[in-house]
Structure formats: structure tokens, C-alpha cells
Structure 1
Amino acid sequence: MASSVKLFILLPFLSLFISTSLAQTSFRPKALVLPITRDTSASTPQYTTQIKQRTPLVPINLTIDLGGGYFWVNCDKSYVSSTLKPILCSSSQCSLFGSHGCSDKKICGRSPYNIVTGVSTSGDIQSDIVSVQSTNGNYSGRFVSVPNFLFICGSNVVQNGLAKGVKGMAGLGRTKVSLPSQFSSAFSFKNKFAICLGTQNGVLFFGDGPYLFNFDESKNLIYTPLITNPVSTSPSSFLGEKSVEYFIGVKSIRVSSKNVKLNTTLLSIDQNGFGGTKISTVNPYTIMETSIYKAVADAFVKALNVSTVEPVAPFGTCFASQSISSSRMGPDVPSIDLVLQNENVVWNIIGANAMVRINDKDVICLGFVDAGSDFAKTSQVGFVVGGSKPMTSITIGAHQLENNLLQFDLATSRLGFRSLFLEHDNCGNFNFTSSV
């Protein structure tokens, strides 16, 4: 991958490349917005969104990959557009991808990868027009276009395993060519984005707040630094590349306000890239290294003081549903706290995010998975998180993210987070029907 110095030099070229094309319009949005849908048509739930791409414009459904470095679309299936342009190997846009491939036609190449299945193929880098809705934070507004948006051409092979009707993946990771970075460069707004996954519907913002649901939830965020893993955690990367996924610094874990005894060295990232805590929209549940999972589960069972029942895969700690009551915040169970940079900065996982109901078995389970379990080893994303020694010690999964607003500030490298349950709110409450 290009060095950080080279990326710094090349970024203005990308900004100029896109912004010059936008000079034809006087309207520059302060932020953009995309809808999110929880799609259950695949083997595990996926969170999808839709953009418009090509000339003439065509709606394209995409699986959201929070830690994905690139935006890729299947070009095998009737990709027709009069504005499609190849990116040449000698161009500054090619260098932004850290590309190591060049076709016979001198077209820049980079491998698109499907994080759900672990499949990666070669692909040409192209540019085409995309169109998305603007927002003032309160409502969705007029559509705006970026004429030369960079993406990778995928194939039928790499698309397999995605939700029904999905044609590619929307990478939101820490690269200069992810969706957040390209939109920020195109419209000269702050390099921030916010994501809010709902149990059915949610919302994805590009740019700064306000982020209005029932309330402006951007005012109540708690902040913690984002950490860079020095070793790539992607299934498709080159030697020396850093991870583009989002890591945070968990220092300890508490259950019912009591510290859980665990090997805290696993919470730090070592020189080989092992350890630490990352956030994923692709993993359905939080997966923990075996010793961490057992320590948390044992502390949870002790604090809850309710008999366990036969577990239901993929979970290892389950209870009879009638033995646990519920409230507005979900099942009444002990809180699980991820303590971040200090004892006062805590990610509190409440009952709604901690537990999963198995309705057909009248069972409710702790919604965390042991990385050493058969499910984690054989799951489609097991090559990233599963096994006796997973590369990442804790991967916070989508169930634990639901109805939490997460803001990723790429300029200052920090994460803002807030549970909307605390505000009697939810991620499905953004107004996509009214105009600015």
C-alpha cells in the first residue's frame, strides 16, 4: 500500500478530481444520508443500503461492511453505463488504492473481497456517477451526484453469499477511497460518518450532525479514541498494510459493576496484530476469545443467579425465557460494561443488546459467542475471528450495535457512541419522507 506520506500528497488530487466535476452545481450538502435495512434472506442477517449508480441511474443494493476498505459492485451482471471510466495504472487515483495489479490494458486493479464468505477475486478499478440523498440532519433532502466515484468491479463469484438482490459491498473503512472519504472529498464536509443499525431499519449519515431521530442524538455522544492495528485484518491484503477496520481500547470488562478476572494482555494489540477489540457490522453477534468468553459468561450467570438450560447454537449460555422478566430496556439482566480509556468511559451493553430470544425453543441466551466454538470455527467469517487463537480477541457484533448511534470521526480518529434506548428512541426513527 502507498505510504502515509504518498497518501497525504495524493489526497488533494482526488479532491480536485471529484470537486472539479461538481462545480456545475451551486448546491453543496452539509451531509448525506442512506437508509439501512436488516436483510434476513442470507444465512445470517446482513445490513444493506441502496445507492444510485451509472448513466442512466440504477438503484444498487449493497451489504454494509463497516471495516471494508473499498466500494465494489458486481460488473458481470449487465453493468451498462455511458459514464463508466477505467482508472489507469499511472494515475493518482490508482495509487490511492495501494494497487499491486495492472491489466494488459493498463487498467488499475485491486481485489474486491466478500467479508461474509472470505472470497476474493481480481477486479478492475473504475469510476462512475453515484447519486445519494442530502440531509440537514433532520430530514432527507434533494439528491446530489458525484460524477467520478471510484469503485472496484467485482464478479458473480465474489457476490455469492450476499443477501438476495445485493450487488456488492459498501466499505466504510479507514482508507482514502471508502465511501466516507470519497463523499467528504467530493463535498468538502467533515470526514465523519455515523451509523445506526435498527432491528428492522436504520440510517447511515456521511458528514457531521445533527442526527435527529426523536431527538438530536449527536449531542449526547460519549467519545473514545480509535486505534489502528499495525497489521491488516483483511482476508485480502498485502504485506505491510495496516488494518482499515475500527478498533477501540477496551481496558477491562465489568458485569453488574464488578470487574471480570481475565487475561488483560489479550485486550491489547501485539506487534503481530493479534488481540484488541474491533467493531463489525458483518458478524451477527459479539465473538470473544475463549478465556474471555468463559470469564464473562461465568460472571454473568453468577450475577443473574438463574439456572441455565441446554444451550442453543451458536450460544453457549442460555436460560428459560420465563425465568427472566423484561422492561423497556429489554430483558432484566446484569449489565455488561466495556471499560474504555478510563473507569468513567464505559460502553454499557444493556439487556436488549446482551440477550437473544430463541422463540421456537422458549429459550433466551447471552448473545455472545465463544471464538473456540464450532459455530465460530465454521461460520462464514470464521477465518477472521474464529479458532483457539483468533486474531482479534473481541469482535463486537451487529446485535450488540443495534439501536446504538456510532459516529466515526476519521479526522480526529475517535468514536462517539450512545444507546438510543437511554433516550426512549430507536434507529428507525429518522424521517426519510420529508424534504429539506
Structure 2
Amino acid sequence: MASSSTSSLHFLLFLLLISQSYGQQSFRPHALVLPVAKDAATLQYVTHVNQRTPLVSVNLVIDLGGRFLWVDCDLSYVSSSYLPARCRSAQCSLAKSTSCGECFSSPKPGCNNNTCGLFPGNPFISTSTSGELAQDVLSLQSTDGSNPGTVVTVPRFLFTCGSTFLLEGLANGAKGIAGLGRMPIAFPSQFASAFSFHRKFAICLSSSTTSNGVIFFGDGPYVFLLNKELSNSLIYTPLLTNPVSTAGVSTQGEPSYEYFIGVKSIKISEKRVPLNASLLSIDNNGFGGTKISTVNPYTTLETSIYKAFSEAFIREATSRNITRAAPVAPFDVCFSSKGIGSTRVGPAVPWVDLVLQSENVYWRIFGANSMVYVNDDVVCLAFVDGGSNPRTSIVIGGYQLEDNLLQFDLATSRLGFTSSLLFRQTTCANFNFTSNV
């Protein structure tokens, strides 16, 4: 294993290599933008980038806590600019690769001698494999915060080659996974290094399967239709580090690259839910706590938390004369939609507060993010039982993130969030993807 001084040298050389590559470009973006669609069949969130030479549009499933970009190299990966990362190179050091391998067939993308590797994984089916670390051209659009702008190129974007079988369970047409985690070679850090902007990104997932949400890399403004600039509406809470990796494959002592926050309690209609508070902290073995994930379609709660939460919700709903209905999988708690009023922020049901570092800082979840209409007559509580001994006690899922703007600041380790944008008479589908160039 390389010494810390050697690793630091590799990192500095890599940054120099990046700066030389981008110094040739006359335009430096303030920020970058990607559209993100909700796949109706899988409830996954899908974006696309252009990669390779010549450029090919590649559909990717978003994994908020994913460690890096991986794409399928087994089928039809053709590129004249593909370069594998050689063992003990600066690229391998930056990627925290600890493996060095050979390939016993003719050279091709994903199969070269004396190259380092990582372990691309599909968290939707909990499967990982080994894959070659490489670099290739990647391009996407810049933004001024209001519209997409000039297309910019990263000539040596680091990624990992995955295998075709890892595509199982991904949205139709997806060729890999885009990792947005806290790893040095995940999307946010590579883009920040490439273009010298703030190491932060913001994600705004659309609740619609026909209109795109948006991901911004870099700082705001974040301007949506009706001239809603949202960066000034953010509420902040610290991002926490789980000291134990939550990845499918990891090395001893490696922390998690996923995003954890410090939920201290849960309230329903401002009444505290009685639960075992120790489950809300991350213990020395990496168990417990609260993380944010785009892998889970709905928020999962450890069994005892779920039981207390659902019972409290039912009590509050019943007090509003809301009638129970038979459960509809995967939901255990459902209600008749008759008699439930409609508000700007969704069905008129008890609101949920995730209380954070103080009683005055909370993430309020309204009906639009707490209830799912499973048919015209039945609406269900969009939280599910996560089991009696899960790795993480609370996993905030995609449905609870929709039409909320979330800003992840990696440099200061804090999360900014808005709660529902419906209150502000806009949605995540309201970014204007009409180019201003």
C-alpha cells in the first residue's frame, strides 16, 4: 500500500493534469446542469451524459450515495479516447483503488493488463463485481442557474467499467449508475476539480414521470419558472459521516460515502412520536442513524420506529375523521381518499416533522410527500417497515425528496433543504431546460 506522502504526490499530479486539460478551454462554467427523469416502471431517477469519442448519449441511474460513475463496458463500448488507469498511478490513488490486475484476453475497454480496479455495484439488487478503472471524455451542459448553456467537456473523466449483468433491475435503457457520493471520483468532486467551482451540488427530483427534475453541480442561483430563486430559501443541517462503509464492497477502516443527517426526533402534527432515541445515532459499528437515498423509493423505518410512527399517524388521521382502508402492498397503512381534502401541498393529512439539530430546525413533510394515491379511492402512507435490525434506522427515500430542493455542500459538510416547493408555487419540473445559447 502506498505511503501517505506518495498518495499526496499522486493527488497533486492528478490535479495538475486536470488543470492543464481545462486550461486550454476558453470558457469556464459557473455550474453544470443535468436533467433527471423519474422512471415510471422502477421509480428510479435517470439522467444522461455524453461520453466517449465519438460522443454517445449514455443513460444512467442516479445513486445519491454512489461512489463513482460506472458503465457497462461489455457491450458496444467503443471509444478512441478510452484510457485505462495503470497500477500505482495518480488516478488509482485518487480513486482509492487497492487492486492491480491482469486481463487474459485481447485488450479492450474493461480488459487491460497492469490496470487498477474498483468494485462497481448495483444497490438495487445488492450485487457488485470487479471492474477496471479508466478515463474517457464526458460532456454536459453548463448553466447560469436559470437555463442550460454552453456544452463543456471533461477530457479525462474517471469511471469504472462494469459488466452487463449489473444492469439487471435498472431502468430500461440505463447503461450504468452515476454516483453522487462523497468519493473523490464521484460526479460532484470531479466536476468541481475540473472547473474550479464550489464542491457542492443540488438535486431537485420531479414527482412527475413526464417532466424532468434537475441536478446542479456547483453553486446557485437555482432559478425555476415564475422566477423563483431558491438558494435563499434553504434551511441547513450538518452532514454526518458514518465511520463504517455502507458500500457492498469496502476496505477495512473505510468510511461511508453516503449522506447522513442527525434526526433527533419525529413529530406528527407537532406531537413527538415515542421511540428509542438510541436508534437515531450511528454506533461504533456503523449501525443506526438517518441517511438520504435515491435507491429506496420510499422512506424506510426500523420496525419499532415504524410501529410507533404509523400508530401515531393513524391516531392523528382518525381525529380528522379520515377512514382506514385495506393495505395495498408495499404499504401497510392506507386510508379512504373520500373525506380527505386537498391543499397546495397535497392531501390534507397530518404533517410529519423530522426534527434535526434543534427543535427549531426541522424538515416538514406534507401530504404530497407522505401519501401515495394507489387508486382513485385509496391513499397510503408512503413509509415502509425497514425490518428489525437494518443497517440504517431511517432511510429517507426518493418519494420524500420529490419537489424539495436539496443542496449538498461537501466542503462544509452541510445539507441545505427547502421542504416542499409546492408552498412556493413551483415544482422541481419547473427548471427551464430551454437553452439560452
Change (3 A) 1:299 1:416: same
Aligned partners of 1:4 and 1:191: how far apart in 2? 23
- For the pair 1:155 / 2:163, whether they are aligned, the reply is yes
SS of equivalent residue, structure 1 residue 435: coil
Q: State which drifts further: 255-264 or 100-109.
A: 100-109
Do the aligned partners of 1:47 and 1:63 also contact (CA within 8 Å) in 2? yes
SS of equivalent residue, structure 1 residue 292: helix
Amino acid at match of 1:49: T
Structure 2 residue aligned with 1:368: 383
SS of equivalent residue, structure 1 residue 411: coil
SS of equivalent residue, structure 1 residue 93: helix
Q: State which drifts further: 319-328 or 421-430.
A: 319-328
What's the CA shift string for 1:312-333, capped at 9, x where partnerless? 1111111111131212210001
Aligned partners of 2:4 and 2:242: how far apart in 1? 15
Tell me the TM-score normalized by structure 2.
Answer: 0.93
Amino acid at match of 2:308: A
User: Matches of residues 199-348 of structure 1 in structure 2 within 5 Å?
Assistant: 199-200=207-208, 201-214=212-225, 215-305=228-318, 306-348=322-364
Q: State which drifts further: 417-426 or 50-59.
A: 417-426
Gaps of 5+ in 1: 373-387
What's the CA shift string for 1:163-210, capped at 9, x where partnerless? 111000000001100000000000000000000000132000000000
Amino acid at match of 2:218: G
Structure 2 residue aligned with 1:108: 116
Aligned partners of 2:323 and 2:4: how far apart in 1? 54
Do the aligned partners of 2:7 and 2:90 also contact (CA within 8 Å) in 1? no
Do the aligned partners of 2:246 and 2:258 also contact (CA within 8 Å) in 1? yes
Residue 198 (structure 1) aligned to one of 206, 213, 234 = 206
Q: State which drifts further: 22-31 or 172-181.
A: 22-31
Do the aligned partners of 2:267 and 2:273 also contact (CA within 8 Å) in 1? yes
Tell me the TM-score normalized by structure 1.
Answer: 0.93
Aligned partners of 2:341 and 2:25: how far apart in 1? 56
Aligned partners of 1:348 and 1:136: how far apart in 2? 29
Amino acid at match of 2:82: L
Aligned partners of 2:332 and 2:3: how far apart in 1? 43
Aligned partners of 1:415 and 1:62: how far apart in 2? 24
Structure 2 residue aligned with 1:405: 405
SS of equivalent residue, structure 1 residue 323: coil
Aligned partners of 1:135 and 1:7: how far apart in 2? 34
Aligned partners of 1:400 and 1:298: how far apart in 2? 19
Structure 2 residue aligned with 1:83: 81
- For the pair 1:141 / 2:155, whether they are aligned, the reply is no
CA deviation after TM superposition for structure 1 residue 404, in Å = 0.3
Residue 69 (structure 1) aligned to one of 67, 70, 74 = 67
Structure 1 residue aligned with 2:131: 123
Aligned partners of 1:54 and 1:334: how far apart in 2? 50
SS of equivalent residue, structure 1 residue 415: strand
Structure 2 residue aligned with 1:16: 16
Aligned partners of 2:391 and 2:9: how far apart in 1? 32
Structure 2 residue aligned with 1:393: 393
Do the aligned partners of 2:71 and 2:160 also contact (CA within 8 Å) in 1? yes
CA deviation after TM superposition for structure 1 residue 15, in Å = 2.3
Aligned-residue Cα RMSD (Å) equals 1.5
Change (3 A) 1:18 1:271: same
SS of equivalent residue, structure 1 residue 269: coil
Change (3 A) 1:9 1:207: farther
SS of equivalent residue, structure 1 residue 35: strand
Do the aligned partners of 2:344 and 2:423 also contact (CA within 8 Å) in 1? no
Gaps of 5+ in 2: 103-112
Aligned partners of 1:273 and 1:54: how far apart in 2? 38
Change (3 A) 1:325 1:238: same
Identity %: 60
Do the aligned partners of 1:11 and 1:176 also contact (CA within 8 Å) in 2? no
